[in-house]
Amino acid sequence: MGKAIITLTIIHEFKLDVESFLFKMCYLPSRKVIRDFMVSQALLEKAKEFHGHICPFVVLGLRASEIALKKLGLTKAGERETVGEEILAIVECNNCFTDGVQVATGCTLGNNSLIYLDTGKNAVTIVRRRDWRGIRVYIDSEKLREKYFKKEAMKLFEKVVVKREGAAEDHEKLSNLWAEIGREMMNIPESEFKIEEVKVKEIERAPIFESVRCGMCSELVMKTRIEYVGGKAVCLACLGKSNAVIGRGIVLNFEYPIVKKEN
């Protein structure tokens, strides 16, 4: 009770809105209010487990997703939503941000509730299949970098990641700084995101196709991925090419990279 009164007094005195107030409190040296995370500590831990590390963009993915879910009155997709593909998360990049989206929304590549548009933007749209109303959240990484990323971290990033130089201690220092910036992103105010109400054109539910056996390797293949060569069913692996999602995005006719040992 006492704490609430103090909090309100401070808001009044500094004429801050609640959101920027909470944000600023996290930057106070004492960091006593750090538990007022907008992204919870539990979610951050899940993200670390899934993504392997804490970084600014995985946290921004969590935060962007939570903003969109909240505005739609939704929570993370559970059993009913994932089985029925009732909630879709449409991402426009395949970087750390997208892992944050998968952890926060429960929409993943495997449950067909994650749609990947290869536009190369840090954006997520959460949409309800019921009415195709959605919220798109975009982040301007240039703006955020200037405002929140420490100069030291940017310098190290240039050295370690871009130029691939730097000793082991530089790597460690960078990963610590990166995680620190990531933690600060948990509280980033909504005003730092571009948030739009959108209408999404209907997207089909994942169809179920029968399987056809490849005439060369005898493995079963989804019917739509078989090609007929001289009347014989052949899979794309045996033909040596398939479309692929790699770091740079979707690559058409990517050379099948798996080389099997000769018997």
CB nearer to Zn ion: pick between 6 and 217: 217
Restricting to residues 81-120, which ones interact with Zn ion according to CB under 5 A? 96
CB nearer to Zn ion: pick between 55 and 174: 55
- Residue from 154, 238, 244, 251 that binds Zn ion (CB under 5 A)? 238
Give the shortest CB-47-to-Zn ion separation in angstroms.
9
CB nearer to Zn ion: pick between 181 and 200: 181
Q: Binding residues for Zn ion, how many (CB under 5 A)?
A: 8
55 contacts Zn ion (rule: CB under 5 A): yes
Restricting to residues 205-224, which ones interact with Zn ion according to CB under 5 A? 214, 216-217
CB nearer to Zn ion: pick between 22 and 160: 160
229 contacts Zn ion (rule: CB under 5 A): no
Query: How distant is the alpha carbon of residue 9 from its chain centre?
Result: 37
153 contacts Zn ion (rule: CB under 5 A): no
Give the shortest CB-102-to-Zn ion separation in angstroms.
13
Say how far apart CA 100 and CA 51 lie, in whole Å.
8
Binding site for Zn ion (CB under 5 A): 55, 58, 96, 214, 216-217, 235, 238
